[in-house]
Structure 1
């Protein structure tokens, strides 16, 4: 079944959407950081941590929204899950924020954590991505974010741990991701049988690039606003009463205020 491109732009204001923000944490792929044996000598308890004892440790993902390098909400983490061959959560994480609460410069910061003993965690890596794009649209669909190993995710704007950097934008994986975004937004002809083959080939190309890369990639998915189970709506950042007009006088009128003390002095001089 062929579908023509959809020229309609359907949107909803973020200030009108009083639903909690959800982010889906998908998979983590790539080569993990090699164990630091100097740290193991300093703290022997680390030999029981996942990074030093398991091939596929039970990592956790911590998610938190930042605004201008300051935490904007409390952090939340993924549920505990034991892995065998690959890291795959496939979990929708609910953030303690509503869409109407999000500022324009909100950053989603993700940090990969590993257990390092009783009540302790160690940082595997971090990444960050802005919740709104350059045109003020809330991001939609899946993203493969580059993980910066050994550091926490940075919440400043611009971030120091970008999941989408200038170098990654030149890769085949990012180029195909932009084309998939156009297809999702209805800007391309949709052919069911051809789309299935194409997206399968895109998955193969992405897997190959991830294996060849020296970085780790965390796949996340942003929610999509759907109306009547068919129409997809974009979420546009908007401030309440942001378009309200205010009158400003460029040439203010002078107002004379009488001073009773001066008038009394003048009357005394006149009487004399």
Structure 2
């Protein structure tokens, strides 16, 4: 369901909702508002009307879920939190850079895993595994580019239809998992690559992160990489990305993101 906001006949904003979790939850996705209208309450008004529309059309939906900035917490029911890292990946020979980084890691004696691409059957078996859900997924939820999903077969069917690169440090008893969303253009014209990382093992997370960067197509321009990681790893991953890989810090809108899920009758917006 998509909601458009217009002013004097011109579209100034858009927000959307998907019904997920076997029809039980309305997933609210980030509102996009024209620069000239930001800070004027357009996003809040769109969300308010969108929720009312969901309640009217889908009375069986009981929950709402979304990602938010902790600074905007209005008494949210928070399931978990991830930290955000924004990087500028230069348009250089990325495979060569990553090979050098891996070589340096091995020379120092750092633990390195050869990450494994996950096929649909692997995704189903790993992300429905109770141990993985309880120990790796923040709040027991899968996060993909700002969207929240319970680890259910129906939700994985949705995600497997999207252009996502799935990686793990290993299939059996994984320590790190990740979803890399195919690069896209943001409203400013930048190419953006979103990597959602799950796990607290630093070596495994580094290895899987490098594998995601290796999956990028040849770059003709700089790419902004938005990486979400377990908050306990944020300082080490910043140090790794800036000092060891030589990436530049990108524009940071949020430092953290919280995973919110509550009764749809709650009016947070």
Bin the TM-score by the shorter chain. Answer: under 0.3
TM-score relative to the length of structure 2: 0.21
TM-score relative to the length of structure 1: 0.21
